[in-house]
Chain A
């Protein structure tokens, strides 16, 4: 177990460094923040002052080494736009991101397991057909479209929920619904597929022959065996929610690191981008570690690998 964890942490560190290196250079391929800072074109002296303030006057490789050296000590520099340390900006968005992604994942997985199992139990019959169609529709509705339409209906027409912001529990409903929609669709299909695989495999048919009822069979014996592909897909979706959910946070003005990252990319705020990516990377690595541990719990054979 200890060697396993050590191995995972090591590979996590490798990933993180890889991501940081890639992001550092990719970001700088998209132009310089100077253009945005001097909308009408600054004087030579102003531009030099700006470059020096953010270390942009150094050659690229030097900037990179300075960045690595400082980052190793936990210093990610100051945001170009926000007048605060880049890491502080990134950290302030993280709790809401984790909460939103966590709630949305719980909602999606629970819904998907229930719907997918029902569909598998009644495969090719009416409940399955209805669930399949609905889940497929859920997976193909444009997110921004759903977000706007739900605001128009629930906030503006009916006025049951707030349009946007993050003030009370009510303001969580539409964002959670919006980001859970597509995962529910995708996961329900995966659950259904995996469950059918298990249900039609030999040993379940044996169990059935021995007189186990269908639903009990599903939750007792099949779910565990169908869990691997479900966890894999759910894990990937969760990871994408950690750095995604951009449209949700843009439309609903809901805080989140996805919005911070997009803003930083558009504003060429490199320090904030780098700090955010490190945090998201850490979160994703932790998530993957959790997924591995869940794998081991669910399927002891994985422990061997």
Chain B
């Protein structure tokens, strides 16, 4: 009896030990995770993946695109297209990946790809009904897409467009059913590793692993997305174990351990000055604005690990970024700023005109304080700012051309991201005379950008950078203040390495779970 009891005890210990080992090291089979995001997606249609809240869920999980930007180096890599080439000035051919299946069982082919490209820019084309796709802005000049054969997509552009393959990294491919109708789909069908299960609006979206996925099957089986607008709640859900991944975490809720991970997505906090209105008419005043702001202190104190001081409009991975930029003429020097303002005043400029600092509450977490601090810096050099913090639609009346008659002189706060790596997604809109979001008009800048748009590779980058130099050193209408760093929180046992594209695609296939 003693003996058998001994055996029992030993084996019990052994079993416990084994159980303990396995729970410490083994990877669970088919784990389910919950992801807490800040904003509910508006649409799950493949042609609406432009806004981050839609892309966060749909891109790369449900839908895939023909090409993809490699997060590590910003280079283009094949995805649903295996290769591509320019066969004429205006013509491109994409060789598509064979044996790819949609979630509904249908095969992916050139016809479907062409239909997606056409529907994204549809307008009135389908059924005579109007379709307005959020991705339409990714193809600013109309293109024609057709199937050359089963697996060859031929695309004809209106103007030479060297970065068409890059643009196609933003065109997500949905199943043929959806492409036939002007109506946006609520039951998305794509080729990605996860297929749509259900969506209860206002509550959650559920995805599950797609068994016929063309590439390697991911570890996580079920994903539930929930929306929590308060950052404290999102962080709390990780602590309480209710969620395994939480996005958009504020600096004050971040933990110091490796559960809080960070990434940069080439997002810059900018200000834009109305150069046509006093007090900003004289470039010296615009320079003084930049010199008045102590970016180092401001960003360190108010943004902590979520930001770093910045002087340009674009992030370091974009080809319009100037790598050896000399920012000394723009950096903090309040006395210099006062001298510049005094000189402008002496030349008859009305530097004491009151102007608005226009911002919106959700520019970034804590942005209202950030803007108040900027206002104080400007006051200290003798300018007369007044803060106007408004909601999105009102803010846009300040962003967009044409500016309403009689709009007060202003300094507009913008948070701009460029995940494509190409300045053509930023400069033409923001710093050319005809740009919809531009208050800059410099003929030399316009010329350089127009030339760059048609140029390739190094030459393209160089032209953009020359335009940027004029913008930042002569025009000074659009200057960076801070480079943003995004925070995410991970639950226990969750491994995920965020990358520069995490802001627009959180690939659940990159997530691994250990127990």
Could you mark each residue 4-44 of chain A with 1 if its beta carbon is under 8 Å from any beta carbon of chain B, else 0?
00000000000000000000000000111001111111110
Of A45-53, A204-212, A233-241, A282-290, which stretch is located at the interface? A45-53
| CB-based contact A40/B429 at 8 Å | yes
User: How far is the CB of A1 from the nearest CB of chain B, in Å?
Assistant: 40
Residues A109-138 near B (CB distance < 8 A) = none
Is B239 close to A, CB under 8 A?
yes
Provide the bound-state CA to CA distance between A39 and B227, in Å. Answer: 22
| CB-based contact A81/B51 at 8 Å | no
User: How far is the CB of A265 from the nearest CB of chain B, in Å?
Assistant: 9
| CB-based contact A53/B129 at 8 Å | yes
Of A184-192, A195-203, A249-257, A291-299, which stretch is located at the interface? A249-257
Is A151 close to B, CB under 8 A?
yes
Q: Tell me the interface secondary structure of chain B in the complex.
A: loop
Across the interface, B202 reaches (CB within 8 A) one of A52, A148, A162, A260, namely: A260
Which residues of chain B have C-beta atoms less than 8 A from A36's C-beta? 392-393, 396
Q: A83-B43, A83-B184, A83-B186 are in contact. Are A156 and B240 (CB under 8 A)?
A: yes
| CB-based contact A255/B203 at 8 Å | yes
Is A276 close to B, CB under 8 A?
no
| CB-based contact B201/A92 at 8 Å | yes
Is A305 close to B, CB under 8 A?
no
Name A78's closest neighbour in chain B (CB-CB). Answer: B183
Across the interface, B183 reaches (CB within 8 A) one of A38, A83, A259, namely: A83
Q: Which of B43, B51, B185, B230 has the most CB of A within 10 A?
A: B230
Which residues of chain B have C-beta atoms less than 8 A from A303's C-beta? none
Is B45 close to A, CB under 8 A?
yes
Q: A36-B392, A45-B123, A49-B132 are in contact. Are A151 and B236 (CB under 8 A)?
A: yes
Which residues of chain B have C-beta atoms less than 8 A from A84's C-beta? 186, 201
Is A163 close to B, CB under 8 A?
yes
Residues A211-252 near B (CB distance < 8 A) = 250-252
Could you mark each residue 165-184 of chain B with 1 if its beta carbon is under 8 Å from any beta carbon of chain A, else 0?
00000000000000000111
Which residues of chain B have C-beta atoms less than 8 A from A164's C-beta? 226, 228, 233, 237, 242
Which residues of chain A have C-beta atoms less than 8 A from B134's C-beta? 37, 39
Is B217 close to A, CB under 8 A?
no
Name B185's closest neighbour in chain A (CB-CB). Answer: A83
Provide the bound-state CA to CA distance between A267 and B182, in Å. Answer: 21
Q: A43-B140, A89-B201, A152-B236 are in contact. Are A53 and B130 (CB under 8 A)?
A: yes
Across the interface, A259 reaches (CB within 8 A) one of B122, B184, B202, namely: B202
Is B397 close to A, CB under 8 A?
yes
| CB-based contact A46/B226 at 8 Å | no
Name A32's closest neighbour in chain B (CB-CB). Answer: B393
Provide the bound-state CA to CA distance between A259 and B183, in Å. Answer: 25
Is B50 close to A, CB under 8 A?
yes
| CB-based contact A151/B132 at 8 Å | no
User: How far is the CB of B16 from the nearest CB of chain A, in Å?
Assistant: 26
Provide the bound-state CA to CA distance between A52 and B182, in Å. Answer: 13
Q: Which of B201, B202, B429 has the most CB of A within 10 A?
A: B202
What class of interface size applies to chain B in its complex with A? 35 or more
User: How far is the CB of B56 from the nearest CB of chain A, in Å?
Assistant: 16
Is A266 close to B, CB under 8 A?
yes
| CB-based contact B137/A156 at 8 Å | no
Which residues of chain A have C-beta atoms less than 8 A from B510's C-beta? none
Q: A46-B132, A83-B186 are in contact. Are A151 and B400 (CB under 8 A)?
A: no
Is B7 close to A, CB under 8 A?
no
The A/B interface has a contact count, at CB < 8 Å, of 126
| CB-based contact A49/B130 at 8 Å | yes
| CB-based contact B232/A151 at 8 Å | yes
Provide the bound-state CA to CA distance between A35 and B437, in Å. Answer: 12
Q: A53-B132, A83-B184 are in contact. Are A253 and B137 (CB under 8 A)?
A: no
Is A155 close to B, CB under 8 A?
yes
Residues A48-97 near B (CB distance < 8 A) = 48-50, 52-53, 81-84, 89, 92-93
Name B136's closest neighbour in chain A (CB-CB). Answer: A46
Is A159 close to B, CB under 8 A?
yes
Which residues of chain B have C-beta atoms less than 8 A from A259's C-beta? 202
| CB-based contact A38/B130 at 8 Å | no
Which residues of chain B have C-beta atoms less than 8 A from A45's C-beta? 123-124
Which residues of chain A have C-beta atoms less than 8 A from B201's C-beta? 82, 84, 89, 92
Provide the bound-state CA to CA distance between A53 and B203, in Å. Answer: 27
Which residues of chain B have C-beta atoms less than 8 A from A267's C-beta? 42
Which residues of chain B have C-beta atoms less than 8 A from A155's C-beta? 236, 240
| CB-based contact B436/A41 at 8 Å | yes
Provide the bound-state CA to CA distance between A82 and B239, in Å. Answer: 32
Q: A46-B132, A251-B233 are in contact. Are A39 and B202 (CB under 8 A)?
A: no
Which residues of chain B have C-beta atoms less than 8 A from A31's C-beta? 393-394, 397
User: How far is the CB of B140 from the nearest CB of chain A, in Å?
Assistant: 7
Is B131 close to A, CB under 8 A?
yes
Is B106 close to A, CB under 8 A?
no
Is B515 close to A, CB under 8 A?
no
| CB-based contact A268/B393 at 8 Å | yes
Provide the bound-state CA to CA distance between A163 and B242, in Å. Answer: 8
Could you mark each residue 146-170 of chain A with 1 if its beta carbon is under 8 Å from any beta carbon of chain B, else 0?
0010011001100100111110000
| CB-based contact B437/A41 at 8 Å | yes
| CB-based contact A50/B392 at 8 Å | no
Across the interface, B137 reaches (CB within 8 A) one of A40, A48, A151, A266, namely: A40
User: How far is the CB of A254 from the nearest CB of chain B, in Å?
Assistant: 9
Is B229 close to A, CB under 8 A?
yes
Which residues of chain A have C-beta atoms less than 8 A from B226's C-beta? 164-165, 253
Is B391 close to A, CB under 8 A?
yes
Residues B370-421 near A (CB distance < 8 A) = 391-394, 396-397, 400
8 closest cross-chain pairs (CB), A and B: A41-B436, A49-B130, A50-B132, A53-B130, A83-B184, A156-B236, A31-B393, A40-B137
**Which chain A residues have a beta carbon within 8 Å of chain B's beta carbons?**
30-32, 35-43, 45-46, 48-50, 52-53, 81-84, 89, 92-93, 148, 151-152, 155-156, 159, 162-166, 250-253, 255, 259-260, 266-268
Contact sample, A vs B, 29 pairs, CB 8 Å cutoff: A35-B396, A35-B397, A36-B393, A37-B132, A37-B134, A39-B134, A41-B400, A41-B429, A41-B437, A49-B122, A52-B124, A83-B43, A83-B184, A92-B201, A92-B202, A151-B236, A152-B232, A152-B236, A162-B240, A165-B203, A165-B242, A250-B229, A250-B230, A251-B229, A251-B230, A253-B226, A253-B227, A253-B228, A268-B393
Query: Other than the known A49-B130, A165-B226, A266-B392, what 8 A-B pairs have Cβ atoms closer than 8 Å?
Result: A41-B400, A49-B123, A53-B182, A83-B45, A156-B236, A156-B240, A163-B237, A164-B228
